[in-house]
Amino acid sequence: MSEIKGMVVAITGASSGIGEATALLLADRGAKVVLGARGTERLAALADRIAGAAGDATYASTDVKRRQDLAALVALARERYGKLDVLINNAGVMPISPFDDLRVEDWDEMIDVNIKGVLYGIAAALPVFRSQGFGHFINIASTAGFKTVPNQSVYSATKFAVRAISEGLRQEAGDRLRVTIISPGFVATNFADRVTNQSVRAQLEASRDALAMPPAAIARAIVFAIEQPSDVDVGEIVIRSTAQK
């Protein structure tokens, strides 16, 4: 708790799933959390929940496809709390489908959110981290970033990209900044809701119901990386349920 108390942590995709669970756990450990997601109603409810438990949270509507929204989220952290210790690039989408469905708009969405959203977060926070002399990027990838399977090629490609971007950033970061990749397996979230191919959606939901971990499991991994001493950089955590191959 001593390593996290008083830290300022911004989280994208904070209104549900991994982002919500992480915000709750960090706030419970004494961090000040800056919540970003597209819908403000759920963000407001989450901020109220954190405040009701004697935590400290603020929020802003954040669409990671818009570079200015990431810049505004980082600016909010600095204006409200005077610094930014950690940026968690968590927002992601997974509208997977067979190539034959030609869901080009979904391909674009995955590239824009899963890759460009991470890059926009880096662009917003890196100058701040450099000027402060400290900072920690935590980028959420996936076990799909290690191998792909039918119907998931574009999604997997975006997560391969997140891992490559993060490793390159780590090598450039120097000895004052930290970069961590979190690569979860199946997590019990609503990731299948936007899958339009009914057969693929049914397969995903069946796998999720059989294999998925609670979001809190990923939140604990994120907190583990954050709470290490400032000269210790946890490069990557791969976390999956024991039932997932």
Cα–Cα distance measured from residue 24 to residue 57, given in angstroms and rounded to the nearest whole number: 10
Q: What are phi and psi of 127, to 5 degrees?
A: -60, -35
The residues, any chain, with a CB within 8 Å of residue 115's CB and separated by 6 or more, are 158, 161, 162, 165
- Phi first, then psi, for residue 220 (nearest 5°) are -65, -35
Active site residue 120: no
| Whether 12 contacts 90, CB under 8 Å | yes
d(CA 193, CA 93): 10
Separation of first and last alpha carbons in the chain: 33
Expressed in percent and rounded to 5, the helix, strand and coil fractions of the chain are 50, 15, 30
Residue tagged active-site, from 59, 81, 120, 155: 155
Q: Residue type at 153?
A: S
Write the CB contacts of 236 (distance below 8 Å, at least 6 apart in sequence): 163, 180, 181, 182, 183
* Nearest Cα to Cα of residue 214 among 58, 18, 82: 18
- Which two three-digit tokens encode residue 79? 């204006």
Active-site amino acid positions: 155
